[in-house]
Amino acid sequence: MASQQSSPGGEILVIGAGELGGNVVAALTRRDGAPSVTVLLRPSDTPRHARLRDEFAARGVGIVEADVAMVSAAELSTVLRWFHTVVSCIGFAAGAGTQRKITEAALTARVSRYFPWQFGVDYDAIGRGSPHDLFDEQLDVRDMLRAQSATEWVIVSTGMFTSFLFEPDFGVVDLSTNTVNALGSWDTEVTVTTPEDIGVLTAEIVQTPPRIADQVVYVAGDTITYRELAEIVGRTREGQVNRNEWTVAYLLHDLDRNPDDGLRKYRAVFAQGKGVAWPKADTFNVTRGIPTTTTEEWARKHFSAKH
């Protein structure tokens, strides 16, 4: 069951306090004339959750608790109905069906404004039946939102987290061998944004006048090809870069042999190059003059030239 701590009824509820949710909350509360912000946490007695509760309380952030994966949409809606704007930062890790459930709860609660967890690729462009089965659920969410008019919605398309591009398990960049594996081809593009920038940009989109409603907003820290990524690795690591091209056919075959591997699903989708990149020049942050972190800036901050 859902339980409430502190005082609900504030203007904005952020669901989840992971890397993305934490940055959204931080950006919202840093703004001049910041609205009342509440965060929804999963009930837990772990030291991390105790620390989070203390940190949020110190910043004047309200707290409500509910296990989004376990409660029904009807139960969740009784929490969401207290808030004007709901920003969901709960991703695929919560399990299949969770995105539809949160959206159903928001619509049942008739919240005024809803930002679903779609901080990623352009699911409309990718379409149904992609290599990643959970992407179809994201299209279900869009259908649910577009089929009604009581709740305004905003989708923030961010591309991949910049750090994910360098995750060893993802397999694109292997710093131990200075290797870059291109997904699809060297000319395939990918859009990336840091969670910190996503937080700042989401807060701006939430509060910018005139109010943004019922549309997809594109942001980007950077849009690069895998060839440019290899060059960035070479410059920041100051060494020769080994390069491999993983074609779409190769990655689909690899997925066929490991059909339940989530990372292989992501690789196959990004290799196809559809809906995973857009021109940075046309994004919300560029048109508003809001600086964001490029791939090379992120790499120079996190990696030294020493092997």
Domain of residue 110, residue span? 3-161+192-222+275-292
Token pair in block for residue 278: 């857009």
Place of tokens 């990918």: 190
The pLDDT score that the predictor gives to residue 238 is 84
Q: Give the integer Cα–Cα distance in Å for 263 and 114.
A: 29
- CA dist., res. 62 & res. 5, Å (int): 7
pLDDT of residue 94: 81
pLDDT at res. 221: 99
Total domains present in the chain = 1
- Residue 266's pLDDT is 97
Low-confidence residues of the chain: pLDDT under 50: 1-9, 305-307
Query: What are 245's two structure tokens?
Result: 């091209």
pLDDT at 8: 44
> What CATH number is attached to the domain comprising 119?
3.40.50.720
State the pairing for strand pair 215-218/113-115: unpaired
DSSP β-ladder status, 179-183 and 173-174: antiparallel
Position 205 in a domain: yes
Q: Tell whether 279 is covered by a domain.
A: yes
Report if residue 81 sits inside a domain: yes
List the beta bridge partners of residue 65: 3, 41
> What pLDDT is attached to residue 7?
40
The per-residue DSSP string of 5-21 comes to ES----SEEEE--SHHH
Q: Residue 1 has what pLDDT? A: 42
E strand map for the chain: 3-5, 12-15, 37-41, 62-65, 85-88, 113-115, 152-157, 160-161, 173-174, 179-183, 189-193, 215-218, 222-225, 242-246
Strands 62-65 and 152-157: unpaired
Query: Is the residue at 181 inside a domain?
Result: no
190-236 pLDDT, tens digit each:
999 999 999 999 999 999 999 999 999 999 999 999 999 999 999 99
Q: Would residue 68 count as lying in a domain?
A: yes
Q: Has residue 114 been placed in a domain?
A: yes
Beta bridge partners of 202: none
Residue 9 lies inside a defined structural domain of this protein: yes
